[in-house]
Amino acid sequence: MEQHLQEAAAGDEAPAGVQERRRRVAVVGAGVIGAGWAAFFACKGLDVHVVDAHPGARARLDDALQRARRTLQALGGLAAEVREPVLGDDLGQAVSGADHIQEVLPEQLELKQRVYAQIEASAPDRCVIASSSSGIMPSALQAGMRHPERLVIAHPCNPPYLMPLVEICGGRETAGWAVEEAEAFYRGLGKRTVRLNREITGHLVNRLQAALWREAVYLAVNGYASVADVDRAVTEGLGARWAVCGPHEIFDLSGGELGMAGFLDKLGDAVEAWWASLGQPRLDAATRQALIDGMAQAAAGRGYPQRAQARDEGVMAQLLARPN
Ligand SMILES: NC(=O)c1ccc[n+]([C@@H]2O[C@H](COP(=O)([O-])OP(=O)(O)OC[C@H]3O[C@@H](n4cnc5c(N)ncnc54)[C@H](O)[C@@H]3O)[C@@H](O)[C@H]2O)c1
């Protein structure tokens, strides 16, 4: 296991020493994302202790472990020895002796803060607590902690065993060492990281996602195109490129040899006019129903397992094909 982790660390330029210390991970919460994280860490050869009293937690973990194994086998990076995550409801036991704590509780500030107090009663003082929160700012999360300096946001994309990115962000009281250790930890396991210079609600990924989805909702519920066609415009039009270039570079390339300056000369004013006409939908009852009906039509009877598998296989094929 150690050898594997050292190789991964070397390949991703993370300091090897950090990886050698990160051998036991506590995962607090085993829902959609917690089960995915636990499975990923286990498949990377770490000892994983999961806390969640939900009766469905074991089944979710088993399912995620199966998917993660398949994924990492195909992508490379599956540890030689994969130990099943240990599941229990004793938080103190899970976090004492942990080298890294991944918090994956529901997106509720007070609940997360309450559980941090319980975690801090047993966890080693210098152990990083990484919150998976999709959008809560780290300064809010760390308010009231005994050691707020070790709280960082480490936000994955779903599913965490497949998607390369982890967004890292510290709050007002986060120490530099905690951000650096968190970044080295995920990079050592083969993840790509982006670091926010300053906290903002929704971090990067969800703000970008929300901006696009706001317009997607506006277009679909106002009848400009069906839910299926709006989604197709993204997968066939934007998404195929986005796996390779971000939105800034795409426009820079649209400017040809003149790059961004050429693009702004040609189309900057037009983009401003499009911005001015973007929709501002609300997720009221009628809009929600239109989205539910539109999505049911787009799914055409294909259920969650089938579509989740198709998503995973499609992303996997793309990751395998792309240059590093
Ligand atoms: N769903 C996504 O796509 C996604 C993606 C990235 C990040 N996140 C973030 O990850 C976090 C979890 O999201 P999710 O979608 O997995 O939620 P979820 O509701 O599927 O899972 C939350 C789990 O936490 C458990 N839990 C509740 N209280 C607990 C406690 N005191 N101790 C231990 N376990 C407890 C629940 O039983 C449940 O299994 C949220 O902060 C969310 O914003 C979600």
For 27-38, the pLDDT digits (tens) are: 999 999 999 999
> What's the Rg (C-alpha) of the chain?
21
- Tell me: the pLDDT tens digits for 57-110? 999 999 999 999 999 999 999 999 999 999 999 999 999 999 999 999 999 999
Nearest partner of 40 among 2, 88, 75, judged by Cα: 75
Handedness of CA 274, 239, 131, 126 (dihedral sign): negative
pLDDT at 278: 98
Phi, psi of 70 (to 5 degrees): -60, -45
Residue 32 Cα to ligand 1 middle (Å):
7
Q: Residue range 5-21: average pLDDT?
A: 41
The region of weakest confidence among 11-25, 150-164, 207-221 is 11-25
Among 63, 89, 90, 104, residue to substitute to test ligand 1 (most atoms within 8 Å of Cβ)? 104
**Chain centroid offset of residue 279 CA:** 27
Q: Is 29 in the pocket of ligand 1 (CB under 6 A)?
A: yes
Q: Which residue has the higher pLDDT, 16 or 44?
A: 44
Residue 294 neighbours by CB distance under 10 Å: 19
Spatial distance between the Cα atoms of 195 and 155, rounded to a whole number of angstroms: 11
- What separation in angstroms does the CA of 173 have from each of 102, 137, 139, 169? 19, 12, 7, 11
Exposed / middle / buried, residue 74 (Cβ in 10 Å: 0-12, 13-18, 19+):
middle
Q: Residue range 227-247: average pLDDT?
A: 94
Q: Residue range 105-131: average pLDDT?
A: 97
Spatial distance between the Cα atoms of 149 and 321, rounded to a whole number of angstroms: 40
Among 27, 28, 105, residue to substitute to test ligand 1 (most atoms within 8 Å of Cβ)? 105
Q: Is 202 in the pocket of ligand 1 (CB under 6 A)?
A: no
The two structure tokens encoding residue 284: 């009221």
- Tell me: the pLDDT tens digits for 183-234? 999 999 999 999 999 999 999 999 999 999 999 999 999 999 999 999 999 9
The string over 295-313, giving b where at least 16 C-beta atoms fall within 10 Å of a residue's C-beta and e elsewhere, is: eeebeeeeeeeeeeeeebe
Does 6 score more than 90 pLDDT?
no
The two structure tokens encoding residue 199: 């906290």
Atom from ligand 1 closest to the CA of residue 33: 16
Q: Is 156 in the pocket of ligand 1 (CB under 6 A)?
A: yes
Q: Is 32 in the pocket of ligand 1 (CB under 6 A)?
A: yes
CATH 1.10.1040.10 fits 205-321, yes or no: yes
- Tell me: the pLDDT tens digits for 271-321? 999 999 999 999 999 999 999 999 999 999 999 989 988 998 999 999 998
> Domain boundaries in the chain?
2-195, 205-321
pLDDT at 324: 66
Q: Which residue has the higher pLDDT, 46 or 1?
A: 46
CATH topology of domain 2-195: Rossmann fold (3.40.50)
Atom from ligand 1 closest to the CA of residue 156: 6
Q: Residue range 140-168: average pLDDT?
A: 97
Spatial distance between the Cα atoms of 24 and 44, rounded to a whole number of angstroms: 11
Spatial distance between the Cα atoms of 78 and 34, rounded to a whole number of angstroms: 19
Residue 275 Cα to ligand 1 middle (Å):
34
Does 4 score more than 50 pLDDT?
no
Spatial distance between the Cα atoms of 83 and 46, rounded to a whole number of angstroms: 8
Q: Residue range 136-153: average pLDDT?
A: 98
Does 21 score more than 70 pLDDT?
no
pLDDT at 20: 52
Residue 130 Cα to ligand 1 middle (Å):
13
Does 3 score more than 70 pLDDT?
no
pLDDT at 323: 72
Supply the mean pLDDT for the chain.
92
Does 9 score more than 70 pLDDT?
no
Spatial distance between the Cα atoms of 189 and 166, rounded to a whole number of angstroms: 11
